[in-house]
Amino acid sequence: MVAAAFLLPSLVLLGALVVHPIGYSLYRSLFDRSGDTFVGAANYREMLGDPTIRTAIGNTALWVVLAPVTATALGLIFAVLTERVRWGTAFKLLVFMPMAISMLAAGIIFRLVYDHDPDRGVANAVWVGVHDTFASASAFPKARPGRDSPLRDAEGGAFVTRDPVRVGVPALLPLVGVAPEALPAGTRTAGRPEPLPGKVTGTVWQDFTRGGGGATNAVDPTESGLSGMRIEAVRDGRVVASTTAGADGTFTLPAAADGALLRLPAANFREAYAGVDWLGPALVTPAVIGAYVWMWAGFAMVLIGAGLAAVPRELLEAARVDGANEWQVFRRITVPLLAPVLVVVLVTLVINVMKIFDLVFVIAPGAVQDDANVLALQLYRTSFGTDADPGLGSAIAVLLLVLVVPVMLVNIRRMRKEASR
């Protein structure tokens, strides 16, 4: 009786907060939207036939496979490596700190991290920086020939002169569409080309005078040269000479360019690399999983680190004395001894990702939420709002419970086995 008296408050709370909601959800899933008409398994058939919910089920399966395994693997690596460095405690603190942040705050942080604009999003700022190190963008992506220009469009985004150039006759290559603030550093006022014996000379410049005025297709005093523009002399489809414009836009080609057409290659007008659309339909789910791993790898590291501290050091040293290298010690001794802890971490994270909601809701833009959808988010979207369907929402809740129960049973069985030792 005394034991029952002590257990009664807990049993009442358990029944009110767990058993009753589960039972009512199961009951409500058998009725229609209004709750007045019994529909049996119709909500479950509709749930499995709805492409949006099927996407949510597929994404939840992807979460269960990727997120716990990745977080656990990173936690294991961090726990093992930080044992060998003097500043390991500080590193563990840094890795664990994201656990102190709410899912909502982490979602806001990563919504900014994944912003498509490289000037705002850290991920694209790094990605674009690495890309531009190996393939720099042009300074003139918007440049184009103006009205009555001596240049015409060529294949692939290049521009070519309408007429062949001649030695001793300066070539004028006017362009428009380059913002003054976008001109390369060191750009000077456009220079007037001077004829040189045995050379083809010319100027490529921004044919635009601020405030109006100036003559079309003529170098005016306040107009800027297009420094660094690549110019090629082409004859019969073959490049016979090439050069780069100076700071004032002037250039000089050898006599081999006589009678050729001058071409401004498409590389001069390549659009700046904008980076990766992290929150687009193709990458939004891996991107949100990345945010989750950032938060929970510290949790895995702390638990695995505690298990690692209990590993007998004499076993590790004995293996090294017997000639095992560090990889063999890690794979054949450390990991098997840590297996119970790794299972605990994996099971905990699997249960956790089954109900993931906050990160997906905050990080995924509205346009791609159907692509990033998971069961917990679909449960919310179905059960609340102007078009709410509590019957279908309850069916999704029951499905989520059915998926979580096997994992919970595995965890209970493991705890019983450990308690019996």
Q: For tokens 């016979």, what's the residue?
A: 240
Q: What distance in Å separates the CA atoms of residue 356 and residue 368, rounded to the nearest whole number?
A: 17
Grouping H, G, I as helix, E, B as strand and the rest as coil, residue 170 is coil
Structure tokens at 141: 């992506």
Strands of 171-175's sheet, edge to edge?
Answer: 171-175, 200-206, 250-253
CA angle (128 as vertex; 125, 131 as ends), nearest 5: 150
- The list of the chain residues with pLDDT below 50 reads none
| pLDDT value at residue 112 | 93
Chain-centre distance of CA 394, in angstroms? Answer: 33
Q: What distance in Å separates the CA atoms of residue 279 and residue 416, rounded to the nearest whole number?
A: 43
Q: 175 φ, ψ to 5°?
A: -135, 155
| pLDDT value at residue 408 | 81
Segment 348-391, tens digit of pLDDT: 999 899 889 999 999 999 889 899 999 999 999 998 877 889 99
Beta strands 171-175 and 200-206 are parallel
Grouping H, G, I as helix, E, B as strand and the rest as coil, residue 208 is coil
| pLDDT value at residue 167 | 92
Closest CA to 269 of 160, 346, 364, 108: 160
Specify the pTM. Answer: 0.77
Specify the DSSP class assigned to residue 254. Answer: -
Chain-centre distance of CA 140, in angstroms? Answer: 28
Closest CA to 206 of 193, 191, 185: 191
With beta carbons less than 8 A apart as the criterion, state whether 235 and 204 touch: no
Q: What distance in Å separates the CA atoms of residue 387 and residue 367, rounded to the nearest whole number?
A: 18
Q: What distance in Å separates the CA atoms of residue 253 and residue 10, rounded to the nearest whole number?
A: 91
